[in-house]
Amino acid sequence: MTPSTAIQHHLLSVSDYYRMAEVNILAEDEHVELINGELFDMAPIGSFHAGLVTRLSRLLINQLGELAIVTVQNPLYLAEFSAPEPDIAVLKPRADDYMQSLPTAQDVLLLIEVADTSLHYDRNIKLPLYAKYQIPEVWLIDVKEKRLDIYQQPDNDYYHLHLRPKAKAEIKPLLVASVSLDWQALFSY
C-alpha cells in the first residue's frame, strides 16, 4: 500500500470528545474513556467494584481531610488526546476544586484503578499512559485475586518500581504520608 492510498486514522481530541457529548453523539449514560485519541467502551461496574471504590474513597477522605481532594471516576486531562477516568484520584488541593479546569498529571498525588473485568485494559493501556505522563504512583487492585500492585517511579511508559504488599500489610501512599490503610480490611464485609 502506498502512502497515498493508506487508510487515514483520525484521532479524537479531548475537546472533540466533550463536544460529542454536548451534541448528544455520546449519550449521558454511555461509559467510554478517551485514551490516545481513541474511545474505549468501559465495562459495567458491579456491586463489589462499586463498593470497594466507595470504601476506599471514604477512607481516603476521612484520613486526608483538607490535605487533598479525592475524586471518584472523574476525568483527568493528560494531553490533547487523553482524558482517562481513574476509579479514584487523590489530587493536590485547589481552591476551585477543579471546577475551572480538569486536573492534569501535575495535580495527581495517587491514582487507584479497581479492576475486575478491566484488569488487562488497566494494566496494558492505562498504566503505560499514566507512566508516560509521570503520574507518581498508581495502585492497581485486582478484585478477583484480592491483590494490590503498587507502581512508582514512572519513566516514559513504564514504572521502575512495582510492589505487591502482603495481605496483612499496612499500605501508605508515597506522596500522602498521612494515609495508612489496612489492606486486608478493604475486602472484608
Digit-coded pLDDT (tens) for 16-30: 888 888 898 888 778
CA distance 35 to 33: 6
Cell numbers representing residue 76 in the block: 483527568
The pLDDT, as a whole number, for residue 166 is 83
Q: How far is CA 160 from CA 122, 129, 140, 153, 156, in A?
A: 17, 14, 15, 5, 10
What mean pLDDT is predicted for residues 75-100?
Answer: 95
Other Cβ atoms less than 10 A from the Cβ of 87: the count is 25
Q: Please give the DSSP secondary-structure letter assigned to residue 180.
A: -
CA distance 53 to 114: 7
Helix (H, G, I), strand (E, B) or coil at 29: coil
Burial of 127 (0-12, 13-18, 19+ CB in 10 A): buried
- Give the dihedral of Cα atoms 115, 10, 74, 53; nearest 10 deg: -10
Residue in the structure block whose three cell numbers are 462499586? 50
117: pLDDT strictly greater than 70:
yes
- pTM across the whole model: 0.91
5: pLDDT strictly greater than 80:
no
Q: What domains sit in the chain, N to C, each tagged with a CATH number?
A: 45-187 (3.90.1570.10)
Model pLDDT for residues 141-181, shown as the tens digit of each residue:
999 998 999 999 999 999 999 999 887 788 999 998 889 98
CB neighbour list of residue 48: distance below 8 Å, 6 or more residues apart: 116, 143
CA distance 18 to 26: 9
Other Cβ atoms less than 10 A from the Cβ of 9: the count is 7
The pLDDT, as a whole number, for residue 25 is 87
Confidence of residue 66 (pLDDT cuts 50, 70, 90): very high
What mean pLDDT is predicted for residues 38-44?
Answer: 87
Can you say how many angstroms the Cα of residue 112 is from the centroid of all Cα atoms in its chain?
6
Higher pLDDT, 2 or 87: 87
